[in-house]
Structure 1
Amino acid sequence: MLLGLLFGLAGMGSSSAAIALPLIGDEFGIGVGGATWTISLYTLMLAVTTAVYGRVSDLVGVRIPLLVGIGLMTGGALVAALAPTYSVLLVARLLQGAGAAAVPTLGVAVLSARYAGPMRGLALGRLAATAAAISCLGPLVGGVVEHAFGWRAVMALPILGALVLPLIWRALTGEGTGASLDVIGAVMVAATAAGLVLLVQSPSTGGLVALLGTLLIVFGAPAVVWWVRRRPHGFLPMSVVRNPVVVSSAVAASAIPAAWFALLIGVPAVLVAEGWETWQVGLLLVPSAVVALFVPRFAGPLIDRVGPAASIAAAAVGASLALLLAALGTRLVSPPLLGLVVVVVTVIFGMAQPALSVAVGDAVRGEERGVALGVATLFFMVGGSVGSAFVGGLGDVVGIPLSLVALAVLPLLGAGVMVPQVRRSRVLA
């Protein structure tokens, strides 16, 4: 529960900030599309540094990397709250995301090491549910704080995560293998992932950003492949990236946070444009926080019964349908429909995240669990960055409803990726 609270506060760095995007855009004269970079860059750094923390935890244990991560998250939040310019705000959000990335990877690693079998699925489900509930309260908390103190106070909310660390310190391990960290591999992966996000967000920022994103992908992807072959035990271990369960599960599950972050951007933007106050938007999303608390009651047993592969596939299909309903809701500006869709995606997220952790944790050896979970979380959170970039980039050009329709294709592709794994699990059963 404490790890879930910490996870949720890290997630609140996006959910509470999303409610303030229109105000940030007005403050710096950049519009909502430009302000979306504060979410996209945050989730990008959250994604690309998760695997770093996973690898470091294998080497030196959980305590030091979690302490560093919380320090970066709180420091970045403070700088963001005091940022005098938009450029400083973006740098602060990068630091904040780089720190917050420690929480999901290390939290999952701690629970995966402490529990096994059905209890692991239950524990991971409770972790995801608590995190989702706190994150879902982010828009309401952010709206209330913004209404009372302004958007800068919203940026400072993740500082509360520092208060949780002393409560869980004794449960964290401080020992690792003592091996070295592949810094070059980490930079290559980060650059390639950044290229994808830049390319997706480029419709609202121009051709230069699109060109930069394309170059990073074109040169980065082959470079990562070459480096993995040269350093098979480096940042992306060959045994992990060649594991079909890890790769297919991570790719498919990445569509779930894409839907989640797309709604975090799209729903507030549409309703605030219609004259809603930020706290009113947050109040609309409160039911999703309540529902999130009950997800572990069925998510863990369901994953144990049908298997993580089928759970991820079902979640991907559900996410696609939810995005189509969200497109209709934003088109009609229907608050009840949008609130219902957020509830549905919350349930889906609460099932997909622990299913991914169970699938990856069971597919690798114990000494590789940390880095494998880090790689899986990297894919998972890159999906979130792509989702926010989709709405902030493409949505700024064609409108939020059409951007959600286009994004709905991604979860269907993810479900297709899981088909061979689902069939294999049924044969083995």
Structure 2
Amino acid sequence: MIATASAGAALVVVDATVVTLAAPGLVADLGIGGGGAQWVVEAYTVVFASLLLSAGRVGDRFGRRRALAAGALVLAGAGALAALAPGPAVLLLARALQGAGAALVFPATLSVLGATFRGPVRGTAFALWGATIAATAGVGGLLGGWLTTTLGWRAVFAASVPVGVAVALAAHLALPESRERTGSVDPVGALLSAAGVGAGVLALVQGPAWGWWAPGPAAPAGWPVSPVPLLVGTAVLCAAAFGVRQRRLGAAGAVPLLSGHLLRVRSFRAGTAAAAVVSFGEFGLMFVLPFWWQDVLGWTAAQASVLLVFPTVAALTGGLTTSLLVRRVGPRATVRAGLACEGAAAAGLALLVAGGAAPFALGGALLALYGLGLGLASAQLGSIVLADLTGDDVGAGSGAMTTAQQVGSAFGVAVLGAVTFSAPVLAHGVARALGLTATALVVALAVTWRLGAARGGRHRRARRPRGPGFRPQRTPLPDTGATV
């Protein structure tokens, strides 16, 4: 069961990262240009982030196993479409469909574990799930580079077909079905959340190219200002309208897409914020460091890729050892230790870059420390976020956390990229970006210091909204007999 959920999450992460090194082949074969190649990556990200909240609720209502299997089949079918794409339009459509499939899969992998396991076994389940994600985040780029070099860029997309089918089949055979019998998917709320999150992520992703106010070099022709402010305004208005609608649904006794009471659950609030900061640092760090390695130090891509092995192996190690730490000190202290390792590593890298030194061993050691912290924190954040959630809130909480991670990663690339390239000297910009990453991780550590998750799996239940016609529901857990 844990292996199936972890494999589904790994498929989503790899599909998000595997395309980056295939971009030059896309440009040469399809003639789409650098901007079009960038959209091949971003179409997945924007659709994925925009559908996460509603997809999490779909899993709650119609079955988490069913959502995971359906999403995996969508990923497989879209991968086949992308591999056979005759031109840019079909390829972009396929990537958008992959993003939709990923939105069904990822929150379902998290919520099916949260709905099935309790006690110490739950910590082990999330440890293995988080370790898989942390490890595959670094593997995707390497896999994409190898497939592109040996078989061509179409093989990058074709590889997801058998994996997606296998995950769907394994989900059908190995996972118990769990769903909530009450409530429904709010279509208006789903539309508002998709539009708001999609517009916000698109603004962050395209801000450097389109310009934050004045039109940038890649902005649409004829616009007096950049489209980014319009996107930001759309995101803010949709978020406000979404909040109003969710409050009204809760007051009427209906089940909203994202209950307002979730934000009053300290473990959910702090855990989601920490997850966003971890993604901010992870994706921002991996975005700016290659510029230091290749443009400042003059390393080749092959030399730089060797350093990525250190955080990948360390992240896997950290994730696999979290179950032992959780049994001794609990998930709260495990996440704190991970954030402390990440912050110390980012600060050390900032000092290393600022000093102009480039010792390979020290850089590898710091990246390994960062990967270790990433594995420790990522593996248990899901457990903390879902610790006090029950029933209808499990899938919504999973989707909210994953949405926060996607927004955090977009912020990381946009903000740290802007800090890096605004400096007159590139090395100074990289050092400042690393210092900002360390600061953000320290803030996340402070936020998680008073997490409400208790040791031993004993958690307080979140308060449910009261209203006319509201009836509290108990969620029957499936008798799976599952073991780790």
TM range (shorter): 0.7 to 0.9
Matches of 1:413 and 1:261, distance apart in 2: 18
State the one-letter code of the partner of 1:181: V
Is the alpha carbon distance of 1:338 and 1:103 closer, same or farther for their aligned partners in structure 2, counting shifts above 3 Å?
farther
CA distance 1:384–1:303, shift in 2 (3 Å): farther
In the TM superposition, residue 42 of structure 1 has moved relative to its aligned partner by 2.8
Matches of 2:132 and 2:365, distance apart in 1: 19
Q: Which runs of 5+ in 2 are unaligned?
A: 214-225, 460-484
**AA in 2 matched with 1:351:** L
Report if the CA contact (8 A) 1:312-1:356 is conserved: yes
Rounded to whole Å, the distance in 2 between the matches of 1:66 and 1:424 is 29
Structure 1 residue 120: Cα displacement: 0.7
Match for residue 102 of structure 2? 100
Alpha-carbon deviation of 1:367? 4.5
Residues 332-353 of structure 1, C-alpha deviation per residue, up to 9 Å, x if partnerless?
Answer: 6776555445433432232223
Give the aligned residue type for 1:212.
L
How far apart, CA to CA, are the structure 2 residues paired with 1:338 and 1:194?
Answer: 36
Distance 1:345 1:117, change over 3 A: same
- Larger radius of gyration, structure 1 or 2? 2
Tell me the equivalent position of 1:386.
411
Taking the aligned partners of 2:365 and 2:38, their CA distance within structure 1 comes to 24
- Structure 1 distance, partners of 2:353, 2:79, is 30
Structure 2 residue 215 is matched with structure 1 residue 185: no
- The correspondence for 2:274, drawn from 252, 275, 281, is 252
Deviations 1:148-205 (A, max 9, x none): 1333433443332322321332222345334320122122223332343334330222
The residue aligned with 1:368 is: 393
1:180-259 pair list within 5 angstroms: 180-201=184-205, 202-206=207-211, 207=213, 208-232=226-250, 233-259=255-281
Q: How many residues get paired?
A: 423
Other-structure match for 1:116: 118
Counterpart contact for 1:140–1:281, Cα < 8 Å: no
Residue equivalent to 1:172: 175
Q: What is the distance in 2 between the residues matched to 1:83 and 1:335?
A: 42
Q: Alpha-carbon deviations, 1:305-335, whole Å to 9, x = none?
A: 4443444344344434444455567786776
Between the aligned partners of 1:84 and 1:326, the Cα distance in structure 2 is 44
Q: Distance in 1 between matches of 2:306 and 2:95?
A: 25
| Change in CA separation of 1:373 and 1:304 when aligned onto 2, cut-off 3 Å | farther
Moved more, 320-329 or 222-231: 320-329
The equivalent of 2:372 in structure 1 is 347
Structure 1 residue 236, shift from structure 2 partner: 0.6
Superposition deviation, residue 215 in structure 1: 0.9
Separation in structure 1 between the aligned mates of residue 160 and residue 291 of structure 2, nearest angstrom? 22
1:50 to 28, 43, 52: 52
**Counterpart residue identity of residue 184, structure 1:** V
Q: Is the 8 A contact 1:360 1:372 kept in 2?
A: yes
Distance 1:197 1:315, change over 3 A: farther
Contact 2:111/2:395, CA 8 A, preserved across alignment: yes
> In structure 1, what is the Cα distance between the partners aligned to 2:353 and 2:159?
28
Cα deviation digits, residues 121-153 of structure 1 (max 9, x gap): 011101211233233222222221121133343
RMSD of aligned alpha carbons = 3.4
State the distance in 1 between where 2:438 and 2:271 align.
18
1:262 aligns with 2:284: yes
What is the CA–CA distance in structure 1 between the aligned matches of 2:441 and 2:27, rounded to whole Å? Answer: 30
In the alignment, is the contact (CA less than 8 A) between 2:332 and 2:454 conserved in 1?
Answer: no
Q: What does residue 448 of structure 2 align with?
A: 418
Within 1, Cα distance between the matches of 2:157 and 2:421? 23
Deviations 1:263-320 (A, max 9, x none): 4434456656646346x65444234443344324431232344443444344344434
Judged with a 3 Å threshold, the aligned counterparts in structure 2 of structure 1 residues 95 and 347 are, in CA distance, closer, same or farther, namely farther
Question: In the alignment, which of 297, 300, 310 is matched to residue 276 of structure 1?
Answer: 300
SS in 2 for 1:344: helix
SS in 2 for 1:365: coil
Tell me if structure 1 keeps the 8 A contact 2:46–2:202: no
Rate the CA distance shift 1:153–1:297 in 2: closer, same or farther, 3 A. closer
Q: Which amino acid aligns with 1:196?
A: G
CA contact (8 A) 2:131 2:379 kept: no
Q: CA deviation at 1:25?
A: 6.6
Q: 1:422 to 1:345 in 2, by over 3 A?
A: farther
- How much has 1:96 moved relative to structure 2? 1.5
Q: Is 341-350 or 112-121 further displaced after alignment?
A: 341-350
CA 1:171–1:383 in 2, change beyond 3 Å: closer, same or farther?
A: same
Most deviating of 295-304 and 235-244: 295-304
3-state DSSP of counterpart to 1:137: helix
Q: What amino acid does structure 2 have at the position aligned with 1:168?
A: A
Q: Does 1:61 align with 2:86?
A: no
Cα distance in 2 for partners of 1:351, 1:141 equals: 24
Please give the alpha-carbon distance, in whole angstroms, between the structure 1 residues aligned to 2:50 and 2:238.
14
Per the TM alignment, residue 393 of structure 1 is displaced from its structure 2 partner at its CA by: 5.9
The 8 Å contact of residues 320 and 412 in structure 1, kept in 2 or not, is answered as: yes
Whether the aligned pair in 2 keeps the contact of 1:288 and 1:346 (CA below 8 Å) is yes
Q: Rate the CA distance shift 1:13–1:344 in 2: closer, same or farther, 3 A.
A: farther
Q: Residues 18 and 268 of structure 1 are in contact (CA less than 8 Å); yes or no, is this contact kept in structure 2?
A: no
d(CA) in 1 for partners of 2:56, 2:378: 16
Q: Which moved more, 1:395-404 or 1:412-421?
A: 395-404
**Structure (1 or 2) with the greater helix fraction:** 1
Work out whether 1:312 is the aligned partner of 2:335.
yes
Q: Mark the CA change 1:78 to 1:283 in structure 2 (over 3 Å): closer, same or farther.
A: farther
In the aligned structure 1, how far is the partner of 2:330 from the partner of 2:88? 46
Residues 115, 130 of structure 1: CA spacing in aligned structure 2 closer, same or farther, 3 A cutoff? same
Distance 1:134 1:261 in 2: 13
